[in-house]
């Protein structure tokens, strides 16, 4: 399900270029164009869901798989939390009150040395 004039639907479809770090049937992950940290990745479902507030019980499996993908990507990017420490931040901005700019559900993965830039 894509949404006309949705930036992230277009990125998922390859109609707008991005630096992808992962792509599968259900999700795409790519570098944020204005990185707030050394590692700043956005993970999106191909399905157009505007915000976390638009999710329903039927989206629970998708959201679960999205969080597991975040964890797998953190491993791939070298920032997973392991016995050797390190870790990462996961952010989902929701609606104007949450500072959301792009209305296609996405999880930010942020990691790396401080200071990080302000998001938004
Ligand atoms: P939000 O505030 O909606 O959670 O975050 C949207 C994010 O998308 C921002 O961090 C912004 O830098 C990023 N972004 C906006 N437009 C583009 C784009 O065209 N390409 C990429 N790769 N990232 C974008
Ligand atoms: Zn979309």
What confidence tens digit (pLDDT) does each residue in 67-110 have?
999 999 999 999 999 988 899 999 999 999 999 999 999 999 99
CA–CA dist 59, 119 (Å, integer)? 26
Which ligand does the CA of 2 lie closest to?
A: 2
Which ligand does the CA of 110 lie closest to?
A: 1
Query: How far does Cα 112 stand from its chain's mean position?
Result: 16
Is residue 21 a part of any domain in this protein? Answer: yes
pLDDT in tens, 9-63: 999 999 999 999 999 999 999 999 999 999 999 999 999 999 999 999 999 999 9
Which pLDDT value is given to residue 2? 60
CA–CA dist 82, 79 (Å, integer)? 9
Task: Give the residue numbers spanning the domain of 44.
Answer: 7-111
Tell me what the pLDDT averaged over the chain comes to.
96
Domain count, the chain: 1
Is residue 117 a part of any domain in this protein? Answer: no
Q: Which residues surround ligand 2, an ion (CB under 5 A)?
A: 3, 6, 8-9, 48, 104
Is residue 14 a part of any domain in this protein? Answer: yes
Which pLDDT value is given to residue 84? 85
Per the listing, tokens 């952010």 go with 91
CA–CA dist 120, 114 (Å, integer)? 17
Which residues are identified as catalytic? Answer: 106
- CB count within 10 Å of CB 51 equals 16
Which pLDDT value is given to residue 79? 95
Closest CA to 33 of 13, 48, 47, 17: 17
pTM > 0.90? yes
CA–CA dist 101, 5 (Å, integer)? 14
Residues 6+ apart with CB under 8 A from 59: 49
Give the binding-site residues of ligand 1, using a 6 Å CB cut-off.
7, 18, 30-34, 42, 93, 99-102, 119-120
Is residue 119 a part of any domain in this protein? Answer: no
């Amino acid at each position: 399900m894509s949404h006309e004039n949705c930036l992230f639907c277009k990125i998922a479809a390859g109609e707008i270029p991005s630096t992808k770090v992962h792509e599968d049937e259900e999700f795409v992950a790519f570098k944020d164009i204005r990185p707030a940290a050394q590692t700043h990745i956005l993970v999106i479902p191909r399905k157009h869901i505007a915000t976390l507030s638009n999710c329903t019980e039927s989206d629970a499996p998708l959201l679960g798989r999205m969080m597991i993908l975040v964890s797998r990507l953190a491993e791939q990017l070298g920032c997973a939390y392991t016995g050797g420490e390190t870790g990462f931040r996961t952010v989902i901005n929701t609606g104007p009150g949450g500072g959301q700019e792009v209305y296609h559900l996405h999880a930010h993965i942020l990691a790396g040395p401080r200071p990080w830039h302000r998001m938004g």
